[in-house]
Structure 1
Amino acid sequence: MSFDYSKYKHGEVLPFLPPKHDPITEPDWRKVPQPKPFIVRPPKGAPNVLIVLLDQTSYSDPSTFGGAINFPTLDKLASEGLTYTNFHCNSLCSPSRTALLTGRNQHQNSQSAVVDGATSYPGDTGIRPKTVAPLAEILRQWGYCTAMFGKSHETPPWETSVAGPFDHWPARQGFEKFYGFIGGEKNLFSPYLVDGTTELGVPRDPDYHFSVDITNKAIAWIRATRSLAPDRPFMMYYAAGGSHPPHTPPKEWLDVYKGKFDQGWDKLREEILERQLKMGVIPPGTKMAPNPPDIAKWDDLPDDAKEVLSRQMEVYAGYCEHTDREIGRLVQAIDDLGDKDNTIIVYIAGDNGGTAIGALNGTFNEWSNLNGAPEDIEYLKTRMHEYGGPKSYPNYAVGWAMAGSTPATWCINACQGGGQNQGMVIRWPKGFKSKGEYRTQYAHFIDIAPTILEAAGIPEPKWVNGVEQIPIAGTPMAYSFDDAKAKDRHTVQYNECTGNRSIYKDGWMACVMHRAPWEDRPRVDSYDKDTWELYYLPDDFGQANDLAKKEPAKLKELQELFHQEAIKFGVYPMDDRSFERLNASVAGRPDIMGDRKEMVLYAGMGGMAENVFIDTLSRSLTVTADIVIPKGGAKGVLVSQGGLFGGWSLYVKDNKPKLAYNWLARELYEIEGSEALPEGKVQVVYDFDYDGGGPNKGGTGSLSINGKKVGEGRIEKTHGAVWSLAGETADVGVDAYSPVTEDYDPWDNAFTGEIVEIRIRHKD
């Protein structure tokens, strides 16, 4: 049975089919009129689109929203466009980003939490269903030039290797050009980059910085497409690395804010609130919500703690401003090409509130907390001279995230306050007359895609690539462009993350803090024991006045509404596990390694994130390297995993085998062979016996050559949970990206002999 196209309007079925032609019976081309080429173009006057997204920036960090950090680009766009002060995100990265890119709610995209923690529940598989076509794919099929630069954290981790599949990579999600990284974060000085679906080596530039690189690449792409195809509008998604950890700006930005946060986070909140009220960012009379009890009062902290903590915010602020200025270079390049008037720029200053992984003290090395080895103030002070530089992987204390949430509190992973408030600015000179004004209508990430489609005159498709689509959940925002007093059209919105949840309706919001972002476990053992809060946001934008006890009927109404929305959008069941979900077998998601206890590796294999590599954490294992040593000996890396902030490397130095184990950039354990490797075929074995007794314990390692033990030593502390998720990789024949050890050159460390094969085998 053929598809009935007559039931649908133009553009509701994609792709467009070329016109049918009757069979040609005339053999002479001179006698046959030539048909016009079949070319798809968007409606006349369709605008260019630039969507800019910052990462883990808090609502009131930017000067645009009363913050203490200078955001000149965001400020300029706000003066030339509209500032949305009542804009909202989901409380984690992947859910927000899929909502932005599709116009559907997080569970419709099957992104309940970060994709690295996906399960097999329908709303949490980490796999965007084909019933949800991304905005980029829709615009691409309408003839737009499409590109993405920066961070992509929507690809299932078990699909991120050279084995694919590549269906969920940005280059197969409607972006004809992708340059950036796949995963939650990267070392900004030596990132693991991807161009399309091709993995790239580490940039060999001592002055390299990711934010500068993606901006350069984005500008080059804009200029090239305007030169080659000026008749086709462009759609670019610029997903900045900033201000996500690691907080590592270029060197010249480390001290720009020196001394600017010595007053501490409590005073900073007061200063921000005063500016917000004066600027009109928040309603008159707005009160500031108190911080959670876990957040220390600044005046109660010892001087050493104040010195450490204020430095963290100085570096973060410099990182934020540098990121914004790089975005300014991109905006200026577009304006210089004459595309300013008909380019919609949507600049969203954050995707899930400020980060909490730094917990109460902050970290020099983010992976410390995740591996059960938090850093105290005494230790942090010893590393302050390196903080923010290329030998650090830092993250500020959560108290600064709370300050950035002013007038509310909370941060990432919270479905209220700073975990769902974000600032957003739109500039479109040709599309609306208003300039430099605030808009207070409720809006959400899911509203961006339908707004772009409406602006371009492109209908929401009903079928895409042969699959019937579920309706877009978002509300176009154009109704508010030239009408500051327009009645809200987005009136209901749920939010959920690992049991934290909220429901908004007509100004009211009911919410639950099931587990604070820095807490190890939920506060109660079942969802029906949670304590609900209730706020009326038009009178209480900061969520300082809990009305749950005063308005029990309204609370009950909203609780029931959340239940209905949860069923409607596939929220249930809610999964309140935390770091346990990083383990694929525990979470119940696919794992490229499956139950394999052994992995065979060959020369040239690289770029393997730990989700697509055999598990080497908290276990006994054997690494066997069959190699060929040339005349005169060899040097270089046989196999490595991780890098500067935690990892291990089996390598050859001075023609002797050596093992380096880097524990969280704090301690380096080395085992060195006492004998040189003979010429010809050689088998080098590294054997590790784990002490057991849970994660993060020690063990004994040994090295042997052709069956003869030539070295032994203790590794007293090990990583027990993660190496770096997707930040660093495992590589054969080289230590790519940042080096595990300084015992060899960070770039020229490739093995100079021949690798026949390397086998890694679990002993348990």
Structure 2
Amino acid sequence: MTDDQLPSRGYDGFRGIVRELASESTPSWAVPVQPAPDAPNVIVVMLDDLGFSDLAPYGSEIRTPGVDELAAEGYTLTNYQSTPVCSPARAAFLTGLNPHRAGFATVANYDPGFPGYVNEIADDIPTIAESFRAAGYATFLTGKWHLTKEAHMHDGADKGSWPVQRGFDRYYGCLDGFTTQFNPHRLVSDNSPLTIDDFPEDYYLTDDLTDQALGMITTLRSNDPHKPFFLYLAHQAVHAPIQAKDVDMADYRGRYEMGWEVIREGRLRRQIELGILPPDTVLGQVDTDGSAAVASWSELTDDERVAAARYMEAYAATIDNVDQNLRRLIQQLKDMGEYENTIIVVTSDNGGTSEGGLKGSQSYLSRFANAVGPAAAWTRNMERDPELIGGPQSFMVHPRGWAAVANTPFRRFKAHTFSGGVRVPLIISWPQGLPKQPGDFGLRDQFAFVTDLGMTVLQLAGVEHLRSRYGVPARDTDGIPFTPILREPHHAGVHHSQYWENNGRRGMLSGRWKLLTGHDTGDTISDDQWELYDIRADPTETQDLATFQPDLVRELADQWRSSAWNNTVFPLNDDNSLYRQRPSTEEMLAAPLTILPGVPTLERYRSSRLIAFRSFEIVVDVDRQAGDEGVLLSHGDQGGGYVLFAERDRICFSYNEYGRMHRMSAPWPGTGPMAVRLSFSAVEDVQWAFHATVDGQELFGAERLLQLVGMAPFTGISIGIDRGGPVDWDLWMRKRSFRYSGRLDRVTYLPGKKAGYDPETIINVEAEVSRIYE
């Protein structure tokens, strides 16, 4: 190209030159593309931890008229299966790769250094959002991401794995695996965290995510009336902590007092009536002992039954609210005249969760402490008023009996390779492009896997999945579009075999046969027994045929092993040890840190590195004057945390021990510049000894406080204010976020010695890389 070509050919000529060059040396994604005039919009609504039977078209008593409408006009898949936990499902959906090949053996929190556990999408793996964008679509995501490892979620981290860098024009939501509905711990808009001092009185996250999605759509239409869009609406609901509006819970008051056995039987009956399951289907058995045990409703005390019913009322209300927001989205599309030409998908990432144990819990975060083994002082459910269940003060997770109901009629739960962990609802509607034929009720019982879903919506929209990314050839996908089974009800299906693995639990599907094994922490792989089921005749996995078909067991076990090697499944995290391995690059997060007033709330994991399983001190430099009030420092929320504040000429400290409050205070010892020092000494039984001083003068203390570990404190560190969910509810009711009115100079964290019971192991990354390449 010569210097005079640009002026003589003008802007259009310049675009032509770019296209000519692109055809020779530039990857296809760099060339502007105009989508077809009739290209459909695509919306994928994914819920979190929603069980197979939790929507009305799948037998639920919960009202979901929005989902009902989509099912009536579209297709209900009854044998769609996902992964046992969330991040692998989301990665498989967005990339079309089997989860371990995509780098997600399990939840995206850590990186122990193995290919299947990278927990971020690699540079040579395009997402379907990038494919849609390359095809001329606008791409939007609201809600849960959970495809960035913890060490990369803070504001100074590499953001290459954040949504905007992975194909989404706009993002609004939570990078983490879960958050709360009334006071989300951290919301991100595009690439920046939002600073919200106080959420509105009527704030509810599911509403907010839908508002943001609607705003993105209407903004697009105000600027371009024709450009199609891809919207991935990834709800945090119904992942714990489960929180619901009072008005929604009121609609379900008294609906669950008959107990989970009765509700489960009712759902199966409706499933058979709806044609979801064959008439001879029997309920999958529930365990009566072990880690997956379900208590009989009759075994509970009267008080326990009252609380258990309340847990399910909140769970049902949360799903109901998701459907209310789905209806708002549908109505907006109808008002715009675009409903008929919009592909809408509703699904879940995995089966219902059993994290609530036998009786449920209002202190969800205390349940993550099991990584350190038994602690005599520990409790996994801080007793609280049952009236708080489902509200903003409760970090609740429902009892395992209700999880069995969610997964009706199947066995087991999230994290398992039994059908209860992986068989989930999937409804697809596209009135213009996938109209039903007369006599077709839209039920499809052919097997489909989560890797197929993203490839299917691309194919339906006429969009080719990218073959390269930034000039690097893309990895081959594993997903197979299941468009043929939508168009042909009696099609034989397109996906006939699939492996599963999660924390040592394995599964292999081949045609009508499914081989699987349970696995509990502490067991060895050699102790596990393969179980064999004919899922065509026995979809609820009740008749183990392994002893009758040893040759078939060996054949399928070999097939699983071959799939495992081909998909980078090894090493197996069968003893949870890989969770505890952290790269040495994270050590900088535990160095002394000074935080200045006005800084946005620090991210959760980045904050936790300063205090987790260690002794530490906090020094608060303040120039105190009479009458100064407000929060000096806060870290955490109603799930657990601590807050230092000044009120009525007293210095006060509140420690929220997973819902159990400890409050202490003392008069300020004078005015002027001073240093408040909070000292936490790690002692036995995963506890801290705590004392506070001002310029060496003792203020108050506590001999024993349960340490905040696992996912607590869930809200990160704020200086001069208490943002996110409040640590001390009574203080918040009086003062809300309570910004400090005086002069606060700085807060310094001084991490000390790690406790001997710290489960984490630091891997020297540089040494390991050198060893490998030598």
State the SS of the aligned residue for 1:333: helix
The corresponding residue for 1:212 is 207
1:413 Cα deviation (Å)? 0.4
Which residue of structure 2 lines up, in the alignment, with residue 702 of structure 1? Answer: 692
Q: CA 1:59–1:34 in 2, change beyond 3 Å: closer, same or farther?
A: closer
Q: For the residues of structure 1 that align with 2:269 and 2:709, how far apart are their CA atoms?
A: 43
Q: Which residue of 1 aligns with 2:326?
A: 327
Higher helix share: 2
Match of 1:736 among 723, 735, 739: 723
**In 2 relative to 1, CA 438–358 (structure 1 residues): closer, same or farther, beyond 3 Å?**
same
In structure 2, what is the Cα distance between the partners aligned to 1:374 and 1:675? 35
Q: 2:757: which partner in 1?
A: none
Aligned counterpart in structure 2 of residue 448 of structure 1, from 453, 457, 462? 453
* Matched residue type, 2:525: Y
Q: Is the 8 A contact 1:43 1:458 kept in 2?
A: no
Aligned to 2:477: 472
**Aligned counterparts, 1:205-604, within 5 A:** 205-293=200-288, 294-348=293-347, 350-371=348-369, 373-374=378-379, 380=383, 382-434=384-436, 436-515=441-520, 521-522=521-522, 524=523, 526-578=524-576, 586-589=580-583, 592-594=586-588, 596-604=590-598
The superposition leaves residues 377-428 of structure 1 with CA deviations (integer Å, 9 ceiling, x where unpaired) of xx75x51111111111111001111122122121110011210000100001
CA shift in 2, pair 1:82/1:752, >3 Å = same
How far apart in 1 are the matches of 2:484 and 2:743?
66
Distance 1:425 1:115 in 2: 26
Q: Contact 2:678/2:690 (CA < 8 Å) preserved in 1?
A: no
| CA positional deviation for 1:710 | 3.7
Q: CA deviation at 1:307?
A: 1.9
Between 75-84 and 191-200, the greater mean CA deviation after superposition = 191-200
AA matched with 1:717: L
State the distance in 1 between where 2:173 and 2:300 align.
40
CA-CA distance at 1:143 after TM superposition: 1.3
CA deviation after TM superposition for structure 1 residue 563, in Å: 0.3
1:755 corresponds to = 744
Q: Map Cα deviations across residues 621-670 of structure 1 (whole Å, 9 max, x no partner).
A: 221122333x5452222222111221012233334433221111113242
Please give the per-residue CA displacement for 1:734-759, whole angstroms capped at 9, x wherever unaligned: 21112212335554422223333322
**SS of aligned partner of 2:250:** coil
User: Which residue, out of 81, 87, 98, partners 1:88?
Assistant: 81
The offset of 1:730, in angstroms, is 1.2
Give 1:590 deviation, angstroms.
Answer: 6.0
In terms of mean alpha carbon deviation, does 39-48 or 741-750 score higher?
741-750
Q: Which residue of 1 aligns with 2:761?
A: none
Instruction: Give the 3-state SS of the residue equivalent to 1:743 in structure 2.
Output: helix
Counterparts of 2:457 and 2:40 in 1: how far apart (Å)?
A: 9
What value does the CA root-mean-square deviation take over the aligned residues?
2.3
SS in 2 for 1:757: strand
Measure how far apart 1:509 and its partner are.
0.7
Give unmatched runs, 5+ long, in structure 2: 20-31, 371-377, 754-774
The 5 Å alignment of 1:96-245 reads 96-191=89-184, 192-202=186-196, 203-245=198-240
- Which amino acid is the alignment partner of residue 427 of structure 2? V
**What displacement does 1:684 show?**
1.8
Contact 1:171 1:178 in 2 (8 A): yes
- Which blocks of at least 5 consecutive residues in structure 1 are unaligned? 1-20, 516-520
1:643 corresponds to which letter in structure 2? D
Q: CA deviation at 1:718?
A: 1.7
CA distance in 2, matches of 1:187, 1:353: 20
Which residue of the other structure, out of 689, 706, 709, is the alignment partner of 2:681? 689
What is the identity, as a one-letter code, of the residue corresponding to 1:709?
Q
AA aligned to 1:687 is: S
Aligned equivalents of 1:540, 1:336: Cα separation in 2: 45
Q: Is the 8 A contact 1:738 1:746 kept in 2?
A: no
**Per the alignment, do residues 276 and 590 of structure 1 end up closer, same or farther by CA in structure 2, a change over 3 Å counting?**
farther
| Alpha-carbon distance in 2 for matches of 1:177, 1:478 | 28
Distance 2:565 2:38 in 1: 40
The amino acid that maps onto 2:422 is: Q
CA contact (8 A) 2:110 2:149 kept: no
Q: Contact (CA 8 Å) 2:342, 2:430: kept in 1 or not?
A: yes
The match for 1:716 among 679, 701, 704 is: 704
What is the TM-score normalised by the length of structure 1?
0.90
Shift of 1:510: 0.5
User: Secondary structure of the equivalent of 2:361?
Assistant: coil
Shift of 1:73: 1.2
- CA distance in structure 2 between the aligned counterparts of 1:355 and 1:436, rounded to whole angstroms: 31
Structure-1 separation of matches of 2:11 and 2:64: 65
SS at match of 2:113: coil
Structure 1 residues 622, 284: CA separation in 2 closer, same or farther (over 3 Å shift)? same
- Partner of 1:717, secondary structure, is strand
Contact 2:610 / 2:749 at 8 angstroms: preserved in 1?
A: no
How far the C-alpha of 1:708 sits from its partner, in A, is: 3.0
Aligned residues: 721
The two structures have a TM-score, normalised by structure 2, of 0.89
Q: 1:252 to 1:534 in 2, by over 3 A?
A: same
Which deviates more, 606-615 or 146-155? Answer: 606-615
Q: Specify the code of the residue in structure 2 equivalent to 1:159.
A: H
**SS across alignment from 1:409:** coil
Query: Could you tell me the percent identity over the aligned residues?
Result: 26
Q: Please report how far the alpha carbon of residue 441 of structure 1 lies from its aligned counterpart in structure 2 after TM superposition.
A: 1.0
The aligned residue for residue 49 of structure 1 is 42
Separation of aligned partners in 2, 1:640 and 1:24? 62
